Amino acid sequence: MKAIRLIQPGQPLEMQEIPIPTIGPRDLLVRVKAAGICHSDAHYRAGTSQVDPLPLTLGHEVAGIVEEIGAGVTSFKRGDRVCLHYMVSCGHCLYCNQGNEQFCVSGKMIGKYTDGGYAEYISIPERSAFLLPDEISFEHGAIMMCSSATSLHALHKARLQPGESVAVFGVGGLGVSAIQLALACGAQQVFAVDIRDRKLELARSLHATPINASLSDPVKEIMRLTQNRGVDVALELVGQPLTMRQAVRSVGIMGRAALVGISADSFSVTPYHELINKEAQIIGISDHLAQELPRLLEWGRQGKLDLSGVVTKTVPLEAGVINAVLNQLEGFGDDVRVVINP
Ligand SMILES: [Zn+2]
Ligand SMILES: [Zn+2]
């Protein structure tokens, strides 16, 4: 089969002819119908985030059709539409037992530690596959498995309650889902902070209140719009010290600031005014959980989560075009969401 693989970090991905994967008794062979090209893949190709072993087929946002099932598979049959949870966990270590399988001691992310979805077929354990409702396209199903799932995990960890208010910092791939999922969770008002007009317009069309951070201090604006109360939940999806600080400052009494964007840089917090006096919390967010995916797929089925504004393009399974998309992602951040149709 054809697979687009990372041979060496810092070099373009290459097409290789490799055998169709063999499957174990509890595995599925899935014919890939859609594989999202994620910003993380650009980091893997560049070598800023490590991939092992090499060569490896990238692609962790995958949806397709069950082509073959292992002898012990009970929940799927040939022809089922499925999407794949990217974290393949052991199911019995300390963290898996707690339901925190993103920290599984032997967890392996597909497209990073095992061959991923930039290929015609992928092998996956049965327990990592989820039925994809007919109402959701393969393209949307694929990207739901990364950015949408992580946004939902962030809202869960921030313990968003119906009637509460939310501020979303960054209207990229994660933000578009975060706005819709916050409303689906019953948020009474969602503020969307960004600096680009196109993204703010998209946020407005999704029923968020847009705030342009290049025109005014978004924290002051949030305070003004909430009669100085601040929001209950702030999600930081950008990964910049400035926006992390803004997210913390924008929460009110008992507020929760959830940090999703990745940065190795420090940011400052004024303990008394920003945390202690409000009993506010800062929460770190890492990946998402298999148990969160059914709810996500149900909201996708109902149209409460609509990713039409996110998937901008589809491309064939060809190294040249995929490398070009990764170049674009490196240049413009998360502006484009491209999905491969093998
Ligand atoms: Zn991703
Ligand atoms: Zn485990």
CA dist 336 and 329 (Å) reads: 7
- The Å distance, Cα 103 to ligand 2 centre, comes to 7
State both tokens at 134.
Answer: 């007919």
- The Å distance, Cα 102 to ligand 2 centre, comes to 8
- The Å distance, Cα 227 to ligand 1 centre, comes to 37
- The Å distance, Cα 143 to ligand 1 centre, comes to 7
- The Å distance, Cα 142 to ligand 1 centre, comes to 9
**pTM reported for the whole predicted model:** 0.94
CB 31 within 8 A of CB 123: no
CA dist 342 and 326 (Å) reads: 17
Chain mean position to CA 30? 21
- The Å distance, Cα 250 to ligand 2 centre, comes to 36
Q: Which ligand is nearest to the CA of 143?
A: 1
- The Å distance, Cα 291 to ligand 2 centre, comes to 14
Q: Which ligand is nearest to the CA of 150?
A: 1
One digit per residue, the tens of pLDDT, for the chain of length 342 reads 999 999 999 999 999 999 999 999 999 999 999 999 998 999 999 998 899 999 999 999 999 999 999 999 999 999 999 999 999 999 999 999 999 999 999 999 999 999 999 999 999 999 999 999 999 999 999 999 999 999 999 999 999 999 999 999 999 889 999 999 999 999 999 999 999 998 999 999 999 999 999 999 999 999 999 999 999 999 999 999 999 999 999 999 999 999 999 888 999 999 999 999 999 999 999 999 999 999 999 999 999 999 988 887 899 999 999 999 999 888 765 556 899 999
Cis omega before residue 55 (within 30°)? yes
Nearest to 118 by CA among 36, 22, 17: 36
State both tokens at 254.
Answer: 């008992």
Q: Which ligand is nearest to the CA of 98?
A: 2
- The Å distance, Cα 4 to ligand 1 centre, comes to 16
Please state at what angle helix 293-302 crosses helix 173-184, rounded to 10 degrees: 80
Q: Which ligand is nearest to the CA of 88?
A: 2
Nearest to 232 by CA among 294, 286, 285, 168: 168
- The Å distance, Cα 247 to ligand 1 centre, comes to 23
- The Å distance, Cα 129 to ligand 2 centre, comes to 17
Q: Which ligand is nearest to the CA of 105?
A: 2
Q: Which ligand is nearest to the CA of 151?
A: 1
Q: Which ligand is nearest to the CA of 338?
A: 1
pLDDT of residue 331: 79
- The Å distance, Cα 288 to ligand 1 centre, comes to 12
- The Å distance, Cα 273 to ligand 2 centre, comes to 40
- The Å distance, Cα 40 to ligand 1 centre, comes to 6
